[in-house]
Chain A
Amino acid sequence: MTPTLMFALAILFLPLLSFAFQIFFGSKIGRAAHWFSLAALGVTLSLALSFFANIFITPGYALLDVSAVWFSSGSFTVELGIYIDNIAAVMLVVVSTISFLVHIYSTEYMRGDPRYTRYFGYLGLFTFSMNGIVLANSLLMMYVFWELVGISSYLLIGFWFEKQSAASAGMKAFLTNRVGDIGMFIGILLLFMQLGTFNIQAIAEQVEFGAFDGTGLLLTIAGIMVFMGAIGKSAQFPLHIWLPDAMEGPTPVSALIHAATMVAAGVYMTVRIFAFLTPAALEFVAVIGGITALMAAIIAITQVDIKRVLAYSTVSQLGYMVMALGVGAFQAGFFHLTTHAMFKACLFLASGSVIHSMHHALHKIDDHSTDPQDMRNMGGLRKKMPITYISMVVASLSISGIPFFTGFLSKDAILAGTLAYYHLHHGWTIFLPISGFGAAIITAFYMFRLIFMTFHGEPARKDIHEHLHETPGAMTTPLIILSVLSLAFVFTIPSTVNPFNSQGWFTSAIHTGENFAGLDMEVVGEALHHAHEPAMMISLTVAALGILAALLFYLFKVVDVEKLTRRVNKLGLYNLSFHKFYIDEIYDAVLYRPFFWYTKVVAKFDWELYDQKFIDWWGWLTLKISDWSGYSDYTWLDQKVVDGFGKATRYFGKELRLSQSGVIQNYILGGVIGILSIFILFQAF
């Protein structure tokens, strides 16, 4: 076993060890048990960094590619294997970094929770599963860890299961994801049947050498099917409904799973299978991403729960990444995955810091009815919580795409990608840049709406405000680290010092080979190059406009927001956004209710009609027949026929008895008549 393989296995199994440790020993040790998890994750992170350090030597080539037979029946063989190239190495670092920081943060955030150690166990299980997706070299193995990620997400969303909303949210997340997973599974089956392998590299190679002949329709279908898994996991329309509900989990969990890593797994997987997505499949991917990016951004405008705003923001940004993949700018998409992981984790952890502080303040004033997450109860927090405030501003500038911050680098590239796609394809594809730039302006607006409502202005509730204070170092340190990682220079210097140039060391580090089923990368690259400058100009303008609008609405209050709301709502637009386009309600009316009604009908049919009526009818029929045969047997055959013989015998006996007179002459007479009769009879014949 080579050292690299050992390292990779350690990255995979250390978090699992942490899970096992917490489940079996955690509750006995108590709070101190978190040191085990912290140590395990610390080692995982440093091992991930050791892979990361190696990607610069030969970008685009695999650092590790090993497989071993898992089980085999002869012709049917399933292998498990690890494949680490630059993309995987970056992803490992992203996952381990955020996971490690969230572990540190949670030691404070979850302090005093009755299931404190189990929480750390679940975090370990999640990190194990997530790293499994990253390391997997085959689609089936990816699917295995895909499901395990689903179950750890289920456990963590429903961690506070005494809350009904948390319990339901966990279930909703798992089931919604399963809808996508079915598609992914069918896609995997299709590819396996056609190519006889689950190995991603092998599939890509066979596709490159023309394994799918003809129009490639089957390959398109297979690609879209596998991508359905990403629609579920990365919360794309129409399966995005679970992610906002998933905010019922503890906030650090939201940061780790439902912002930075798990939801990015769909994007990561699409990057992995990118090489065999056909142009038609990519078009589908782009449209899904475009719809999601714009729709979720519109919903985020009107939400008042600080975590919900961030949740819809996450959905929207994931839409961006997916759209980037669809238009062929897949490096930009992956770049955005990385930068988004940092600034969105920062935003969530900062919001967690606010919620934590609010929660304690409410506890102090013995108020159990006020929602600690409702931004309408906040305001003016910046002086009380300066570190939280500054890190949140940094992350917000980053997500809005302002120069000097990471979001600018990656988002800009995506927007250029959509413009380039439009230049190449024309027609309806204008929807993609419109969605991209539209979402950009809205993003800047709602992020600064959040900042102003939470941190600026007058405190909404003086009584709460008094008791607010900055959170402890275990919570603020991760915020500082993540906000530093949201600064552009981290990803560009030393390759370039130009803040408007996104082509730094990182973009060359995530460079990959260019053999794709769907795209001529030269054409795409050319178009991207031309789209770059206009895209940057427009994106800077829209970001500035969005922030300006937020300033006018929420900081300087030049515009009366309530009046505007009322006016907009005459067309029902406000409600449409506030009620998330009524998608949950529609699903409830056309899917859930009819479905459960239908299962009830099925069960009624199965038991009350089919079994009790039809099956038991045979029993009834048998009883009837046996009744009848019993009747005929006794009343008719026995009583009438058999006993009839008896009665007849008795009757004749009784009658004939009279001939037994005892007079000898009569007997002789009878005898003579008898003999004579026989004699005559014989004579006659």
Chain B
Amino acid sequence: MKGWARLPVYSVSQITRYLKDVLEADALLRDLWVRGEVSNLSHSAAGHYYFTLKDATNQIRCVMFRPALGGENLVDGGAVAAHGRVSLYEVRGDLQLYVDLVQPEGVGERHLELERLRVKLEAEGLFQESRKRPLPEFPKRIGVATSPFGSVWYDIQNIIQRRFPLVELALAPTPVQGDGAAAGIVDAIEAMNREGGLDVVILARGGGSLEELWPFNEEAVARAIYSSRAPVVSAVGHETDFTIADMVADSRAPTPSAAAELVVPDSEELGKRILFHRRNLFQQVSGNLAARSQELDQTVYRMQRQAPDVPSWRQRIDDLSNAYRRALESYLVMRGERIKALESRLASLSPNSVLARGYAVVQRQDDSELVTSVSQVASGDDLQISVKDGIFPARAFS
């Protein structure tokens, strides 16, 4: 009885506090999946779920606070797997499972684990769209993390050789299935980070079972992809396979061949674009030339309209000179006729016509002076007498 008395006495709060600490220090209880049947489900106005998980004989109280995932999987009597941690609700002294994720039961353990990792990495922001980097349009160096054996590496080389051979492919060899695969992929991505200068990285493997693709769902691989210096294109398995690696990668391709097509442009398409540019260049310049040539034509036309019309002036000069010549000719003709008229008038006034009527003209022989008076003539002077038909000499006497 004495021993009893020596034991310390605790308050309820001290004990609940202690229990809570013990529970929360336990590694198993901190992070675990519990499967069971849902009962006593209630959904609070605040969006939290309260329920009990039970099996044939036992049960545990559960609470799931908003915004945990998978609340839609909760129905009374339904079989689920709940992920969370075990702790104590001190106010009531209730031991509870604090649930953050509920999956319908019947899903394999791998899927449960996959879902758990997905939720965790998503919460850390590894899948955020805003973090996804764009792929370069014209990469120069492309890193490829895959197995050096098998068709994936071969297909990638072939497609890039055909589409855009202006690049260097840097292979980082890694196993892509089996125990060493996750570590190998991490090592390959680290090798590419060390190498540097890569514009884009392809992480690829061919199709396989969920188990074969498993390395691409490992947390270490997800974090390595996240740490890659170059944007990562994941191409794991077939189109329907979706791995954690696909979610972290900057781009996801449905197959390795599709990844090769995604990272480089198609040189045939580029050739068409170059041809289009050349035609455009030609059209721009010939259009420019045509416009200039039309401008020039118009300017020349305007200039020609402004310039003197030489042929018409020449014709006008011709016309004028013809008119002048005609005027001159008719003037000359007219003059000629007047001269004839004057001549005939002159003829009529000539002494000859008087002589014809019987008069005679007397001139002195020595000085041809016309004799019009007797005083001009002395006896013995030689005279010249003109009559109608000739001249005869005569001598004065008295």
Q: Do A and B come from one complex?
A: no
Binding site for A on B (CB under 8 A): none
Tell me the A residues contacting B by CB distance below 8 Å: none
